[in-house]
Structure 1
Amino acid sequence: MGRINFDLQELQAFVAVAERSSFKQAAEDLFLSQPALSRRIEKLEEMLGVKLFERTTRRVQLTNIGRVFLSNVRTALDELEGAILNMSDLAAHRTGIVTLACVPSAVHYFLPDVLKGFTERFPKIRVRIFDESAQDVLNLILAGEADFGINFAGAEDPEIDFLPIYKESYVLAMRHDHALAKRKKLSWKETASERYISVSKSSGNRSLIDNALAGVEKHPVIFYEVNHVAGILALVEAGMGVAAVPRLSLPKYMDATLVGIPLVNPSIHRTLGLISKRGRIMPPAARTLFDMLVQSSKTDKSVQPK
């Protein structure tokens, strides 16, 4: 095999276009002209002998080969950057980068205080956070693109080590001025006449609820479907209806607008855990952050049910 002849600028140009889905915006980010950026991409494609992007007058998107190459390039650039940063003190893991994948609710409830303490100990270590859906988080761990994750999916996967850190219940989110807002708990049957807002059927949350309610006589009727819990809560806040959501999906410091009432008969729970790829040795800095999250989950009362 002949020697591969390209430089970092071409790889950086490729990543910039892939992330922006635009030659114009990527060129602005890199302080290049569009023709100069295009030449870098063309040179890279010519060297690889493959087409990395599908280009039309309206959009730019990665080809299937381009998506695979992007994952590999990101990993390679991270490792190269980490090697450069860590030359003098790798053993002490005082510099470098930690990549963490987690469901969005975990960002609010588990990360801020731990990251603050981690940064105070290791101010030169950077942390990259992928806040994605449960399935995307699992895929990032399995692909080796994140050091570890916080997720409620993966416990049954033979390639995943799953360490439970929190068991959360589902609550009914509603406005504070709703007729049921003062209740201590609500059965699903009592709320069957409410206008429900839900995530789509492809969501793990929706599947969990549908399976749990399979034997319930009266089912809630879904009037609105959205793709993300943030959209659900926006509609609830606007007075469009109520929604069954995991407790951690509600804002950590709720104002007077929304309340979450525990749902019973049946009670539905899910377990959040720290996940990592089985058999993979975590880099020292990632292991330190992982251990700090474990310790925090044992002592932090702010994530305990009220």
Structure 2
Amino acid sequence: MDVELRHLRAFVAVAHGLSFTHAAERLFVTQPALTRTIKQLESILGVTLLDRDTRRVRLTPEGARFLQGARAALGAVDRAVSNVLQDAPLRLGFSWLLPDPWAQQAVAEYERVTGGTVDLVRADDPTAALVRREIDVAVLRDRTELPDGVRTVRLFEERRVVICSTTSPIAERRSVDWSELEAWPFVYNSVSGTVGPWSWRDGGPTRFVETHNYDEWLESIATGRGISVVPDLATRRTIHPSIRFVPLVGAPPSTVSIGFVLDHQERLKRRFADAAVAVLSPPSDRH
């Protein structure tokens, strides 16, 4: 077995902070997987690169010498890849409304730092689009079952509201409790919705109305097929004469994450992940 880029990235990540925990988080792998990769590298080289015990991790003399070469090798590869891909836009996929102002700020930060561009791509199923390599990074909400190989970075939470038809009995109510949702038919988007049958382990609505994209979902609600739940972003961004939004009490929040698959464009995707997280910090902490 030859030394591979994954070996070098794993070693440099551990050596950078002398922590397997932090390195695993940075590389989006589990600690056992990271440990196996380091052991493979040491076996290939026939030397011990890291001394580790229950309290700390330290570089051996051989590890310190190897670190210089590993960093240089990774830097050369990154530069070569950047030269080829510098004109290739990063494709950011989303199924419906992008969170604001995060999305606009993240795109601007990525373009400022990298000099690259971001193309916005509408996809009914961003996860499937990731796997098919139709997009590079996807904005994801809540759905936790992801295919193998999809890495995620959790960003923030959104509050939720009820969405219903103007003719619904709850359209003029001041609020609705999460526990009351079982009383009405519930419309959900089975492809990219944030709330559906999977949201209740016990109880929940007795009747569900399945749709397969955002437009079907919205129009089904507008025509009185049932009610639904949506992040409160929709109250600012969705204009429809036949729908109403009602505050929702006691609902679990909606989690916003970005997802991507590590491949030859890994560097660009990680740079976008860095920008996505950076804009969540106060401006004084960004640089």
Please report the TM-score for the alignment, with normalisation by the length of structure 1: 0.49
Q: Hey, which bits of structure 1, 4+ residues long, moved more than 6 A?
A: 120-123
1:293 to 273, 276, 285: 276
Find the counterpart in structure 2 of residue 250 from structure 1. 234
Deviation (angstroms), 1:107: 6.7
Instruction: Return the alpha-carbon distance in structure 1 between the equivalents of residues 129 and 213 of structure 2.
Output: 19
Change (3 A) 1:260 1:116: same
Instruction: Return the alpha-carbon distance in structure 2 between the equivalents of residues 213 and 198 of structure 1.
Output: 13
Deviation (angstroms), 1:164: 0.4
Q: Secondary structure at the match of 1:271?
A: strand
Q: Deviations over 1:14-59 (max 9, x none)?
A: xxxxxxxxxxxxxxxxxxxxxxxxxxxxxxxxxxxxxxxxxxxxxx
2:155 to 155, 162, 165: 165
Q: Secondary structure at the match of 2:170?
A: coil
What pairs up with 1:271-282 in 2 under 5 angstroms?
271-278=255-262, 282=266
- Kept in 1, the 8 Å contact 2:154–2:255? The answer is yes
Unaligned segments of structure 1, at least 5 residues: 1-85, 301-306
Q: Does 1:233 align with 2:222?
A: no
Q: Secondary structure at the match of 2:128?
A: helix
Q: Deviations over 1:65-106 (max 9, x none)?
A: xxxxxxxxxxxxxxxxxxxxx99xx56986432122333233
Instruction: Return the alpha-carbon distance in structure 2 between the equivalents of residues 256 and 141 of structure 1.
Output: 31
Q: Does 1:198 align with 2:188?
A: yes
- Kept in 2, the 8 Å contact 1:189–1:219? The answer is no
Change (3 A) 1:270 1:144: same
Q: Does 1:97 align with 2:89?
A: yes
Q: Secondary structure at the match of 2:237?
A: coil
Q: Does 1:131 align with 2:131?
A: no
Q: Secondary structure at the match of 1:96?
A: coil
Q: Secondary structure at the match of 1:101?
A: strand
Q: What amino acid is aligned across from residue 290 of structure 1 in structure 2?
A: A
Instruction: Return the alpha-carbon distance in structure 1 between the equivalents of residues 150 and 270 of structure 2.
Output: 16
1:219 to 200, 205, 215: 205
Q: Secondary structure at the match of 2:276?
A: helix
Q: Secondary structure at the match of 1:261?
A: strand
Instruction: Return the alpha-carbon distance in structure 2 between the equivalents of residues 242 and 297 of structure 1.
Output: 35
- Kept in 1, the 8 Å contact 2:189–2:214? The answer is yes
Q: Give identity over the alignment, percent.
A: 11
Deviation (angstroms), 1:150: 1.8
Q: What amino acid is aligned across from residue 289 of structure 1 in structure 2?
A: F
Instruction: Return the alpha-carbon distance in structure 1 between the equivalents of residues 214 and 139 of structure 2.
Output: 17
Change (3 A) 1:129 1:154: farther
